[in-house]
């Protein structure tokens, strides 16, 4: 359960049991999706978690959880990675994360919440309109690695959700499905690991947050197990549509919440 032993882990205010239950279910769903597609955990979990945590605490919390899950997947798949594509994406990703963590540590909480809501809602709408569907067969030029890595690192640091850009690039560069999945897994492991280091250096990770991550770990493990169970039982079309509808609704709900509180 997402229930810390110290109220300070939630910023000094213990949320209602219903809010904690929603946050826990969001984590389970988020890591089920992460297991299925290799990204998306923060997109699903961030908005419900915003009801119990500031955005500046959500990103490092999910980075800690993502780092564990992605590292396990990346280690298992390390022999199938495309090292050339990995090397092209890494410099831009690192630069984008440095900029994103700097902004995360300094921007007002309300501004971050509005930006997060817009980002999640627009991505869900883009997916419903066909942008998140099957990529065209025409390969993407290798020069796209720099802007995709930079934008993915920036979005990953700000919102914990840059993985879909890496997947969009790799999907157009690696026709072999095993190579795509392996390279994406290792890239996400490196991305989340760097994000944890940068968040720690920026003072965004402390003792209460580590305690909260430990308390959230069972929900992550349950989500990973659920994702593995669903992997062969859910068509890609239905899953993609349900995911994008959930993202659109989650982003809109966060924007409405910020508007009401203003």
Over the stretch 33-85, which tens digit does the pLDDT of each residue have? 887 777 778 778 887 888 778 877 887 888 888 888 778 777 877 788 899 99
Query: Does residue 2 sit within a domain?
Result: no
Query: Does residue 1 sit within a domain?
Result: no
Specify the 3-state DSSP secondary structure of 83: helix
Query: Does residue 209 sit within a domain?
Result: yes
Element (H, E) at 56: helix 55-76
Give the number of domains in the chain.
1
Given this model, what pLDDT does residue 15 score? 57
Instruction: Identify the band that residue 91 occupies on the pLDDT scale cut at 50, 70 and 90.
Output: very high
Q: Which of 75-89, 175-189, 245-259 is predicted least confidently?
A: 245-259
Q: What is the pTM of this model?
A: 0.69
Query: Which domain covers residue 45, as residue numbers?
Result: 7-261
Listed ranges 19-28, 70-79, 240-249; the one with the highest mean pLDDT = 19-28
Q: What does 161-192 look like in DSSP terms, one character per residue?
A: --HHHHHHHHHHH--SHHHHHHHHHHHHHHHH
Nearest-angstrom CA–CA distance, 18 and 38? 29
Query: Does residue 192 sit within a domain?
Result: yes
CB atoms within 10 A of CB 218: 14
């Amino acid at each position: 359960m997402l229930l810390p032993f110290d109220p300070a882990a939630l910023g000094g205010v213990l949320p209602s049991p219903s809010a904690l239950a929603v946050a826990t279910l969001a984590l389970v769903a988020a890591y089920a999706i992460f297991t299925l597609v290799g990204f998306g955990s923060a997109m699903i979990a961030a908005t419900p978690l915003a009801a119990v945590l500031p955005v500046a605490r959500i990103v490092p919390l999910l980075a800690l959880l993502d780092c564990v899950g992605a590292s396990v997947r990346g280690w298992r798949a390390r022999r199938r990675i495309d090292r050339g594509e990995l090397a092209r994406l890494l410099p831009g990703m690192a630069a984008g994360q440095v900029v994103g963590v700097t902004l995360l540590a300094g921007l007002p909480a309300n501004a971050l919440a509005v930006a997060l809501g817009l980002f999640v809602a627009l991505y869900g709408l883009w997916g419903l309109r066909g942008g998140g569907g099957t990529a065209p067969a025409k390969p993407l030029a290798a020069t796209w690695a720099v802007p995709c890595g930079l934008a993915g690192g920036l979005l990953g640091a700000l919102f914990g959700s840059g993985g879909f850009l890496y997947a969009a690039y790799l999907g157009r560069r690696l026709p072999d499905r095993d190579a795509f999945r392996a390279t994406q897994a290792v890239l996400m492991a490196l991305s989340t690991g760097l994000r944890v280091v940068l968040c720690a250096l920026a003072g965004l990770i402390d003792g209460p947050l580590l305690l909260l991550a430990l308390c959230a770990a069972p929900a992550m493990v349950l989500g990973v197990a659920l994702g593995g169970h669903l992997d062969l039982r859910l068509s890609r079309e239905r899953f993609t549509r349900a995911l994008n509808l959930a993202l659109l609704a989650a982003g809109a709900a966060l924007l409405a919440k910020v508007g009401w509180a203003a």
